[in-house]
Structure 1
Amino acid sequence: MTAATLERNSFSASMSLPALRQELTLHPGVRYAEGMPTWTLQDPVANRFFRLNWLDFELLSRWHMGDAEAIIADIASHTTLEPTVEDVENLIKFLAANDLLEVRTEQGLERLREQAARARKRGFKWLLKNYLFMRFPLVSPQGFLDRTAPYLQWIWTKTFFVCTVLSVLVGGVLVLRQWDTFIATFPYFFNVEGFLTMALSLSVAKVMHELGHAYTAHRYGCRVPAMGVALLVLWPVLYTDATETWKLESRGQRLKVGAAGMTAELILAAYATLLWNFLPDGPLRSSIFLLATTTWLITLVINLNPFMRFDGYYLLSDSLGVANLQERAFGLARWRMRELLFSFGDPAPEYFPPHRARALLLYAYGTWVYRFFLFLGIALLVYHLFFKLLGIFLMLVELTWFIGRPLYMEFKEWIQRRGEISTSGNARWTVLGLLLFLALLLVPWQSQVSAPALWRSAEYARFFVPSASYVETVNVSPGDQVQPGDILVQLVSPDLDYDIARGQKQLEILMWKVKFQGLDRQLLDQAPVSLQELQAETAAQRARMEEKEQLQLRSSVAGVVTEMREPLSPGEWLEEGAPLALVVSREKGVVESYISEGDLQRVQEGHHGMFYPSDLGRKPFEVVVKAIDNGSTKQLDEPYLASTHGGPVAARQNAEGELVPQAPIYRMELVPVAEGLGPEQVLAGTVTIEGERESVISYLARKVVSVLIRESGF
């Protein structure tokens, strides 16, 4: 009987059982934490293993009887189990679905041909699902392991363990005695030779990691059919096929195989730390340093992570005694969530003791949260790895397939079972919560728009050193009142004074030539040239005098000196462009804000809002939008809001030293509604404006479309 036959006809106890494939073998399995025995069914052709419970084992042990009724009766008479025809039918379906039955009909052969054809095609859909993780077996190491394993038996001796512990202690003490030299090895890797050294060291460490798995599995009698390279998010990593460890009856042995890779790297690091102390400086010492520090830390951080199917996952699975940990934990978590939300009344997918059930639930929910952020990060990564159109497509695939699809399948299950939803309190609260959530998404209740802002005087003057000079006199100090035209600081530039004096002498000579040109024939011939030189020198002298005038720093506004360069004393030399002072007029204040492109359409001139100073000692006040720039801000004039200075606006400093916003923002000018003095200094804060109402879903949709258009270059 084939799987196709089972789909069309219901099973009858009087039917003969389909034959099992002759090469299948049964092995005793590990005991569950509750003491329940298990068995492992091995498919050596496909190198697959299936965990069987007691009932399945008893059924398969009597499969040779060929008659379901006889098997059921024999099990009931010799054990405490009470199997049914349905149990036999479910087992046959399981065996057929995994190709564990002999195929003796043309119909069954045709089905296998179709499966093989589909496997060869591996179409576009398969590629989208698997491009983040693909395996490529490179070698079959079994013969190599058979030949070399006898020479490595000393690795598992107590003598080697003691030597390793001693190397850790001695190496650690010696490193601490020259810790500064040890740490100073890091800068060596920031060049081409260092990069090659790093790559070689990492390769050695990862090969040792995989050989640790392979030799340990071989030690316990497991076959290692393949070792190769896997592409993890297009990044090559080594892997070892240790699937046959499923047949190990001892949980301790399985844990040792799972931890062998990390143990191998830790042992390598221990001896590398000791060896580093005796090597001269150079590439070899740097490689040993890397093995002693970075590689084992990386492997522990990555491989101990139980949320992905690395070593840590299998170690946790064996420690808990729960095979197929993720699938079973996810099934339990989905059942628990549905019961809490809707009280369907379904039985638990399988029984676990309360403490283990809580652990599985925590693990499942933690994995879901971890995967959400992981796949979100991968979506951004693949976007930046490829050109824009392909990057956007792959990012959408990630978001849709790995995040959106599981959510869709769960919501679909809820909708399909809506008729079964109980009228209990849980269900009512769930429905009410969903309705409120939808209302929050769809109803345009959000009207406030927040943006970073500065409160400053409407009139202020900043003073910088116009050219390299020294201080002659300082006439004011912070807090002094000044009027327009008052001299704050008098600067002197000796180079400029010299140029002025030299220019004055040149002017006098040129004026003499022009004045007495009629008395000398040669002067008369040079008259046109002398006149042009006089005009040019006069203009140059006028510019020098204006520059000298600028060395008298005069206030252009009536206000208060709020900032002064300190210390500032006569005789001090100052470089060109150095800030000197700030004069602020307190007669009128203005709020300058920067609004994001997404909120621009919701704010118009005349809208009211509130300004909240960052200084909690100051009271907020009402403002009104006076003007909004038509174009986005190319650079920030004030550094207070820039992220490079600790502000909320993401900005970077370009080659010219200008602060350039990372995302499009638009400058707004707001004025206080109430008359009052302006601030004595620039104060950062937040402005909240009552803008046009918009729903959350509309806002998110607009943001997504804006990002797609901007990033795709449309």
Structure 2
Amino acid sequence: MKLETPLPPAPHLTVDILGLCPSVRDDVRVAVQVYGGRTCYVIEDVLRSKFYRLGLAEYTFVSLLDGQTTIAEAMGQTAEICGSDGLEEREVATLCKWLLECSIITTEQSSCENRLEEGRVKQQTRRVLGGVNPMIQKIPLFNPMPVLRPLDPLGKLIFGVWGGVVWSLVVGYAAFALWESWDAFTGAGMHVLARQNWLVLLATWLGLKLIHEAGHALACRRFGGHVRESGIVLILFAPMPYVDVTSGWKIDGKWQRVIISAAGMYAEIFCAAIAALVWTSSFDPLVRQHAMNVIVTASLMTLLVNANPLMRFDGYYMMIDALELPNLATHGRRWLATATRRYFLGIDVRGPDRGEGSPAIVVAYAIAALVWRWIVCVSLLLSAEVLMHGVGKAIAIVAIGLWVGPTCCRWIRMILQNRLVRHRRLGWITAAASATLWMCWSVVPWYSRGTVPLVVDYHHPHEVRIGADGFLDELSVSVGDVVSRGQILARLSNRELELEYRDVLLDLETSDARYRGFLSSESIAAAGVEQKVQASLRSRLAQLEGQLSGLVVCSPADGVIAQCDVQSCVGTFIHRGERLLVIGSHGSETMLGLVDQADVEAFRRAQGQRVDVRLWGMGERPIAGRIDRVLPRAELSLPHAALGADAGGPLPVRPNPQATDDSDAMELIAPRFPVLIDLVGGETDRVLPGQTGYARLVYRDGTLGRAVRDSLTDWIEDKRAMLRMHR
């Protein structure tokens, strides 16, 4: 971990210091570097392990400060040596002020008892505030040099040419092996955050961070640096080791400094590659789980945190060394401070000097880093509140106070004591900001987009069902066929039904013969009884004729076969009443969608309004639709198989335990409200039943402020639900 030293801030006022005779401390070391094509000098403060980079003119001036030469004389001699590149009086004042604040030079005034006591009070205040800040605490532990010196040969091997070749081969092969098992890997990764895995994951994370910092230390030693200190940084009480490799600043080669910054990620990614090879080759569940912990922790978290240039971690130092933009973050903070004083408080201050990088780069980085820093801090505070409940709320409140409180106090003191502040401008800006916030909360509308997956279907289609139990012998149509009224669609057979029909018919003939015999013998009573038997047999015969006629399925209307439920059931037994086919009439196409509960009220209010519909396979141009109605009840049933994820649709489904046939074999995981959307204009000729797509409705959903509040509340609730799920 490497800390960057800020550049000197612009002075708020100029004092007469030309007659002072400061001197450079005797224990300060100097090294020459070439940076950005220019010669510069790196000053090392050995006592504080801090490094400062000066240009030729600045170093020439500092080298003349021997305790006997006045600042005016040193400035004149610098002008003689450097010519037009010499320092102006204002630049000299700024440089001297900064050198005093960094304790690089001393004067009689800075060494007096009052100044020393003031410095001790400031240092003690910073130490107290840092010790109670739950966001971050730094705890130095020991000097690691006795451990690192015997490992110097290992560092030369790892960060040499052959080490780089081995690293590339192992990481490349591991990435290829993991890609081949990507589906299984992503499925197994869902269990990494399970509650029973937390302790193991924490231990894995700590071990990898030790390897990470060891990589920095070995790389620093590889290129001649000195590791002065190591310890632990607590971020929201989560421990993270660190090593002080700021001595890498005096190394002349910029790519060597980049390697030192990248060494931690270099080591962690290699560990992730080894773990990936173990995961793809092992069948032991415990071994695979530990390997998964290493892969996720060493790759995902390293890339998200350490490689991010907007935070002052490894990625930032790699960027500023590679692009030769030193102190980019410091320049950005100074620009933000100057812009705030100038435009918010109305103080006429001069913009900060930017020696490296264009102003556009500095401004863009300052804004991006500020936004990212707020996002990270707010996320950490919200995570503490979610994961630690009551304790987390207390930590969040304390952290917010320590984070925002000192800044607010400084601004209040500046506003009250600085006579250059334009209070009228401050009042107008404050009022405008307050009015803007109030309008965002109460007036400015917020629009949401409700997206509904849908399928084209026929409006009031004809369902053709089986009229009698039997075996499906023949199915003469398929989906998409045009049929006419009375056309035979399918034939079934039922041997038992046919035999029963013949038996009843034979019994009826026998009964008729007996009836005639009774009449000829004038047995009136017996003939009456036989008449009742014949009536019963004729009734049963009529029922059997109806069932036998049901074995031949005919089309009830003209139309198109829209759905066939038993196409794969030819030769199997089908029960009476099962759906065989669905016939739709051309020109009656409509769209059936399923609305999520969060958007159902908006769709109900928009009944009769037009919406844009996009169907897959019809290009980017939307077609027009109109919301007909939203059905009042949410359902789990899947109205069309094309909407289910098992058939390539957008909605997650699961097997229906209460399914009675193939048409309802799957059901939705979460209930949704069916909505009917009519096609508008001549779009009916362009669509085909079974096409899927989505309809999108833009509707007003409260105000901007309430939308932000609701999103934040939903985020917190989602995290709490995730926590409960992993318990």
TM-score range, shorter chain: 0.5 to 0.7
Measure the CA separation in 2 of the matches of 1:280 and 1:709: 42
Cα offset, 1:711, TM superposition:
6.2
Q: CA RMSD in A?
A: 6.8
In the TM superposition, 1:264-275 aligns within 5 A as: none
**Where do 5+ consecutive residues of structure 1 fail to align?**
1-5, 337-343, 407-415, 421-434, 501-545
Which residue of structure 2 lines up, in the alignment, with residue 313 of structure 1? 316
Q: Counterpart of 1:49? A: 51
Partner of 1:156: 156
> By how many angstroms is 1:242 displaced?
0.7
Q: Distance in 2 between matches of 1:265 and 1:482?
A: 70
1:323 positional shift: 2.0
Give the Cα separation in 1 of the matches to 2:179 and 2:258: 34
Q: Distance in 2 between matches of 1:493 and 1:140?
A: 92
Tell me the residue number matched to 2:127. Answer: 119
CA distance in 1, matches of 2:170, 2:68: 65
> Aligned runs of 1:181-220 on 2, under 5 Å?
207-218=210-221
CA distance in 1, matches of 2:350, 2:14: 25
Partner of 2:582: 582
1:571 corresponds in structure 2 to 571
Partner Cα distance (2:79, 2:50) in 1? 30
- State the secondary structure of the residue aligned to 1:314: helix
C-alpha distance after superposition, 1:119-141 (max 9, x if no partner): 314498x54xx46xx65545431
5 Å-filtered alignment, 1:225-624, equals 225-230=228-233, 237-251=240-254, 253-261=256-264, 301=303, 306-328=309-331, 349-352=353-356, 357=358, 360=361, 364=365, 371=372, 375=376, 382=383, 386=387, 451-460=452-461, 471-474=472-475, 476-478=477-479, 479=481, 481=483, 559-564=559-564, 568=568, 570-572=570-572, 581-586=581-586, 588-594=588-594, 597=598, 600-601=601-602, 604=605, 607-609=608-610, 612=613, 614=615, 616=618, 624=626
Report the TM-score when normalising by structure 2: 0.59
**2:668 is equivalent to residue 659 of structure 1:** yes
Asked if the contact 2:611/2:695 (under 8 Å) is kept, the reply is yes
Give the structure 1 partner of residue 20 of structure 2. 16
Matched residue, 1:527: none
Task: Determine helix, strand or coil for the equivalent of 2:226.
Answer: coil
- Verify the 8 A CA contact 2:624 2:683 in the aligned structure 1: no
Quote the Cα distance in structure 2 between the aligned partners of 1:225 and 1:40. 16
How far the C-alpha of 1:185 sits from its partner, in A, is 13
Matching residue of 1:93: 97
Partners in 2 of 1:493 and 1:29 — Cα distance?
Answer: 101
Specify whether residues 570 and 89 from structure 1 end up closer, same or farther in structure 2 by C-alpha distance, changes over 3 A only: closer
1:673-697, Cα deviation, whole Å (9 max, x unpaired)? 77998977244345577x88x5x9x
**CA shift at 1:247, angstroms?**
3.3
Q: Percent identity?
A: 18
Q: 1:393-426 CA deviation, whole Å, 9 max, x = no partner? A: 9999999999xxx9xxxxxxxxx99x99xxxxxx
**Aligned amino acid, residue 93 of structure 1:** K
Shift in alpha-carbon separation, 1:367–1:463, aligned structure 2, 3 A: farther
2:386/2:716 contact within 8 Å kept = no
Q: Distance in 2 between matches of 1:394 and 1:464?
A: 67
After superposition, the C-alpha distances for 1:311-362 in whole angstroms (9 at most, x for unaligned) are 34323322333322444478799999xxxxxxx998884355xxx6499579
Match of 2:117 in 1: 109
1:170, distance to aligned residue in structure 2 (A): 10
Amino acid at match of 1:681: P
Q: How big is the shift at 1:710?
A: 5.6
Residue 94 (structure 1) shift: 1.9
Residues 558 and 154 of structure 1, relative CA distance in 2, 3 Å threshold: closer
User: What is the deviation of 1:213?
Assistant: 2.5
Maintained 8 Å contact 2:589/2:689: no
- TM-superposed deviation, 1:704: 3.5
* TM-aligned CA distance change 1:155 to 1:444, over 3 Å: closer
For 1:223, give the aligned amino acid: H
Hey, what's the Cα distance between the residues in 2 that align with 1:123 and 1:95?
27
Q: Is the 8 A contact 1:197 1:286 kept in 2?
A: no
Amino acid at match of 2:218: Y
Q: Whole-Å Cα distance in 1 between the matches of residues 470 and 670 of structure 2?
A: 34
Say which of 68, 72, 77 aligns to 1:69.
72
* 1:461 and 1:555 in contact (8 A); partners too: no
> Of residues 25, 39, 43 in structure 1, which corresponds to 2:28?
25
Give the direction of change, closer, same or farther, for the CA distance of 1:123–1:585 in structure 2 (3 Å limit): farther
Q: Name the counterpart of 1:638.
A: 640
- C-alpha separation between the residues in 2 aligned to 1:181 and 1:262? 19
Contact 1:562 1:583 in 2 (8 A): yes
Q: Alpha carbons of 1:195 and 1:186: their partners in 2 closer, same or farther (altered >3 Å)? A: farther
Instruction: Work out whether residues 636 and 658 of structure 1, in 8 Å CA contact, stay in contact via their aligned partners in 2.
Output: yes
Secondary structure of 2:459's match?
strand
Residues of 1 paired with 2:620 and 2:319: CA distance?
55
Name structure 2 gaps, 5 residues minimum. 1-9, 340-347, 408-420, 426-435, 501-545, 658-665, 721-727
Distance in 2 (alpha carbons) for counterparts of 1:442 and 1:599: 24
Partner of 2:662: none
Q: 1:647 to 1:224 in 2, by over 3 A?
A: same
Total equivalences in the alignment: 603
How far did residue 24 of structure 1 move?
5.2
In 2: Cα distance, 1:672 partner to 1:253 partner: 66
SS in 2 for 1:563: strand
Amino acid at match of 1:318: D
Paired residues of 1:613 and 1:685 also in contact (CA < 8 A)? yes
Distance 1:104 1:621, change over 3 A: closer
